[in-house]
């Protein structure tokens, strides 16, 4: 679920931090820049692990801060395909079930990836698995807040960097859709034995 990613970066340390230990100052700047942010095709950055190499610092003309080339390792959230994780249901609609890990909410289980005999209940605003046993059919509700075990089946990165101004007329509805794009989205599945709500499989 978490991986160490090696990154090379030139870090600017502002003049007000010159009195600090240089590694501490660089670490603070790296965390300010990367922590809790998605890097395209890398994943969600969590925290700096360590600095593996640091070059000499230099000051650019007209800039009071100093710049240092560093190589460092960052802890990144990026589960591998087919990995099984446990989260909590955050929301349900006709199209999918949204799952949260607490620090990451953009996990979605599409309707086609639920159990085959599932249906959406408009009144309860929840998906229901129509489970059939020897005793008959049972409705198992997928309520918000319940713990759920799921398998990662796909991931999607999107460049959400704001585009520059354009002289051409823009469609407002199109702009709204662009703003709602997720920089990192995970698609999951529970259509297998042992997956789904933890309470379903409790002995």
pLDDT of 84: 97
Q: The pTM is what?
A: 0.83
DSSP characters over 23-61: HHHHHHHHHHHHTT-EETTTEEEEEEEEEEEEEEEEE-T
With the CA atoms of 114, 116, 121 and 126 taken in that order, what torsion angle do they form, in degrees rounded to the nearest 10?
A: -20
- Chain segment 104-113, per-residue pLDDT in tens: 999 999 999 9
Give the integer Cα–Cα distance in Å for 145 and 128: 15
- Chain segment 123-153, per-residue pLDDT in tens: 989 999 998 877 778 899 999 999 999 999 9
pLDDT of 198: 95
| Domains, the chain, ordered by start | 2-77 (3.30.1490.120), 84-200 (2.40.50.140)
Give 48's contacts (C-beta < 8 A, 6+ positions apart): 27, 30, 31, 34, 35, 72, 73, 74, 75
């Amino acid at each position: 679920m978490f991986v160490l990613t090696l990154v090379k970066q030139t870090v600017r340390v502002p003049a007000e931090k010159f009195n600090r230990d240089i590694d501490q100052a660089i670490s603070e700047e790296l965390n300010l820049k990367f922590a809790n942010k998605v890097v395209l095709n890398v994943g969600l950055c969590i925290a700096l692990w360590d600095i593996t190499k640091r070059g000499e610092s230099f000051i650019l003309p007209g800039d009071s801060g100093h710049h240092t080339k560093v190589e460092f390792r960052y802890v990144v959230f990026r589960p591998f395909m087919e990995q099984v994780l446990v989260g909590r249901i955050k929301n349900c609609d006709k199209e999918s079930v949204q799952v949260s890990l607490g620090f990451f909410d953009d996990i979605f289980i599409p309707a086609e990836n639920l159990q085959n005999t599932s249906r959406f209940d408009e009144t309860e605003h929840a998906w229901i698995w129509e489970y059939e046993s020897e005793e008959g059919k049972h409705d198992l509700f997928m309520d918000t807040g319940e713990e759920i075990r799921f398998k990662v089946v796909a991931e999607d990165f999107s460049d959400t960097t704001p585009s520059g101004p354009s002289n051409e007329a823009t469609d407002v509805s199109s702009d709204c859709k662009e703003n709602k794009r997720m920089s990192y989205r995970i698609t999951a599945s529970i259509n297998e034995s042992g997956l789904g709500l933890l309470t379903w499989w409790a002995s």
